[in-house]
Amino acid sequence: MGNTNDTQITLFRILGFPSLHKLKNLIFVLGLFIYIITLFGNVFIVLMVRKENRLHLPMYFFLVNISVIDIFYTSNIVPQMLATFVVEIFIISYTGCISQFFIHICLGSGECLTLATMAVDRYVAVCNPLHYLTIMNYTVCAALLAGVWLVAVIANIPPLMSVCWLNFCGSNTVNHFFCDAPPLLEISCYGSQVVESVNFVVAACIIMSSFSVIMLSYIMIIRAIILIPTKGGKLKTFSTCASHLIIVSIFFGSLMIMYVRPGYTNSPEYNKIVAVCYTMVTPMLNPIIYTFRNRDIKHAVKTYFMCHSA
């Protein structure tokens, strides 16, 4: 599928993990297992929150949004990654590649902003518990969620337009397991500096602003936890918040390494490993951590199975 410099590329070859070709069967099975666990876990959370009245709280309203994001986030990327281990050459159209890129950055931004919203929700719950349900009523939660998606889509239109402006006239091989900005910039003929700058500014604004809101919220939460008189109260509050912080650490840490740097200087193989963290590991861990470290969900799960086994 060679292309001359005078021919605009209309198809891309997704390279995947050629260095792991000898382990492709093992990695395929492992990746498929992670994907199934991710889908099952997140669908289970959505259904459980919808069914159990005791989970009809603002925190779980946002948690459902995270689960829905993770379902689509992994489904946008992981099946294609698995396909690169099955077929010799995985081909994706120009339109398909650009669409995958836009869906990826919108969902990633949506998750960042939702995690920040959840941190604010936890701040209100811990620091102003008597007025929590009054402040975080359904109208406020719906407005916050609408704002999250409005920002996630509108803010990512400039990166989308900038990538569409790139001229791909050299190699058509994307050295990654999905269409993302860094590998696309590597095979562009010109305009990469402008695209890199646009993507960096948007990513930095969304990631760092969300992370700052989360850190500020948890500084205030920790101060409030210290003032709780009973040890049991401290442990219960910290347990709820700890699960959120674990997800934040993994998700934002990998995103910062990947996108919040003024130049995509890391090796392609390193970028792939980092990308696995936020496209596969975090979506899989979300339902596991929120289920096993959250008392309300554990109680709801226990009650559900007891009722259906009786």
Task: Give me the helix-helix angle, 24-51 and 282-292, nearest 10°.
Answer: 40
pTM of the predicted model as reported, rounded to 2 decimal places: 0.89
pLDDT value at residue 268: 83
Instruction: Express each pLDDT in 49-100 by its tens digit.
Output: 988 888 889 989 999 999 999 999 999 999 999 999 888 778 999 999 999 9
The answer to whether residue 175 scores a pLDDT higher than 60 is: yes
Measured distance CA(163)–CA(184) in Å, rounded: 8
Q: Which residue has the higher pLDDT, 148 or 310?
A: 148
Token look-up 């000898």 returns 22
Average pLDDT over residues 258-287: 84
Name the residue ranges covered by the structural domains of the chain: 11-309
Structure tokens at 277: 């963290």
Which CATH architecture describes the domain 11-309?
A: Up-down Bundle (1.20)
DSSP string of 54-123, one letter each residue: GG-SHHHHHHHHHHHHHHHHHHHHHHHHHHTTTSSSEEEEHHHHHHHHHHHHHHHHHHHHHHHHHHHHHH
Measured distance CA(32)–CA(44) in Å, rounded: 18
Task: Give me the helix-helix angle, 192-226 and 94-127, nearest 10°.
Answer: 20
